[in-house]
Structure 1
Amino acid sequence: MTDALQINSKPKNYLSGEDVLNWSIATMARSPKEILLTELITTTICACPSLFFVWIGRDIYLDSPSEALFLVYTSAGAALYLIALIIRQKTIYNYTLKTDGATVEYYLHYPDFASALFKGIAIFVILAFVLVALITGSLLFLVGPVAMAFVAAIKLLNWENPVHHRQTAPWHLHEFVTVDHKRLMVIIHCEDITSGFAARFPSKALMDKYLAFLRKALPANAQYIEKATNWHQG
């Protein structure tokens, strides 16, 4: 028996019970440990090209160290961009707790103007390619990396932020509950503790309400395990 259903489009909802709790939270899906490790790896990868070019032109940079500032700024900017907009990007979770199960709707958090911005960038890139084609009278420039950029622009033009849905199995099928007090998370499992339905909370008080409900709704022999987790699924 699977712990939860995960479908990109909205699944057929078998839950018909009354609402018990509703809450939303915007948070990073991965654990702080995983985020820190990813940040270190990203920073290292961004620094490697600059270090390579500095090593190649070491004679020039030894005589004029300020010449290397551009490489340093470029690497730092790239790392900060990736960390801020991708690695530390938050996910919005909308939870509904019912008497016969729970559901969550989640999607990546983008500012309200993101869709217009992405489409504007895509249109600019496409028009630039069309202009180059008209000037050169040839489409041969649409080869290799440029072709990949053109395809990416087309996809960006049709960009939509996908919304994902999950729902629990019936309460009586769950056998384990993992409680992570540090991350304010509760994960309920059926037979397999490596998969389950994770609930994230903006406050400890709300998490305690959820746990109190689970102790009544889940089987009496369900095992509660308190530990830190690296859980990042929905």
Structure 2
Amino acid sequence: MIQQETPALPQGKDVLNWKIKTLARSPREMMITQSIFIAVYLTGCTLYMWGGWIMFSDSLYSLVGTVLALAGIFAYFTGLLIRQKTIYNYTLKTDGATVEYYLHYPDFASSFFKGIAIFVMLVFVLVAILTGSLLFLVGPVAMAFIAAIKLLNWENPVHHRQTAPWSLHEFVTVDHTRLMVIIHCDDITTGFAARFPSKALMD
């Protein structure tokens, strides 16, 4: 994982440590985003199927393959992007608190992405050799090739945040529904949100 540059962290004694994997956004925001995506995606899929119905009606394999591909794309965007969870590692200290957070991916994600990138690049090179023309690697294919190279170097970035000294905080907001405690300074935008895995730990 890529460690992002961090400012000076609280140096006090550790009081409490915990880890939680959860959705970064509120349920309301998730529902709105997911509903809009589903509506737009289903509309696009319906128009696509309607426009190519003559071809699909002549070939059952094309119809089944297209439906499976569209279902796979839908599952990818919904499960991996819209509803992707974030892992938070909290440390509560005597003079402040810190959190390290990063997106949750399966353990095999890095190898999987690199495998896809290598496969795509090999396919492009093989097609260019078979066609005998490097013009194949110009245009959209060149953009896809660059994207594959970036995917080959993919790392999951790790982010850090910390509170101001405890003495500077003015008030606290407690969200019992989402098991969150948010501490604020005079400027409400500098708040620090702590997510808890259970009500017992939050209390």
SS at match of 1:165: strand
Contact 2:9 2:162 (8 Å CA) reproduced: no
TM-score (norm 1): 0.77
State the identity %.
68
Contact 1:185 1:199 (8 Å CA) reproduced: yes
Distance, in Å, in 1 between the alignment partners of 2:52 and 2:116 is 35
Once the two structures are superposed, residues 22-45 of structure 1 have per-residue CA deviations (whole angstroms, 9 ceiling, x without a partner) of 000011101111111111122122
Alignment of 1:210-229 (within 5 A): none
Amino acid at match of 1:180: D
Distance, in Å, in 2 between the alignment partners of 1:138 and 1:61 is 33
Alignment of 1:38-57 (within 5 A): 38-56=33-51
1:145 aligns with 2:140: yes
Instruction: Show the counterpart of 1:230.
Output: none
Instruction: Show the counterpart of 2:117.
Output: 122
Distance, in Å, in 1 between the alignment partners of 2:105 and 2:6 is 24
Q: Which has the higher contact order (CA 8 A, sep 6+)?
A: 1
1:24 aligns with 2:13: no
Instruction: Show the counterpart of 2:4.
Output: 9
Distance, in Å, in 1 between the alignment partners of 2:126 and 2:71 is 33
Instruction: Show the counterpart of 2:186.
Output: 191
Contact 2:87 2:103 (8 Å CA) reproduced: yes
Alignment of 1:19-168 (within 5 A): 19-56=14-51, 72-168=67-163
Once the two structures are superposed, residues 161-210 of structure 1 have per-residue CA deviations (whole angstroms, 9 ceiling, x without a partner) of 000000111111111211111100111111222341110000111111xx
SS at match of 1:96: strand
Contact 1:50 1:71 (8 Å CA) reproduced: no
Instruction: Show the counterpart of 1:3.
Output: none
Q: Which runs of 5+ in 1 are unaligned?
A: 1-7, 209-234
Contact 1:184 1:200 (8 Å CA) reproduced: yes
In structure 2, the CA distance between the partners of 1:104 and 1:130, relative to structure 1 (3 Å rule), is same
Number of aligned residue pairs: give it.
Answer: 201
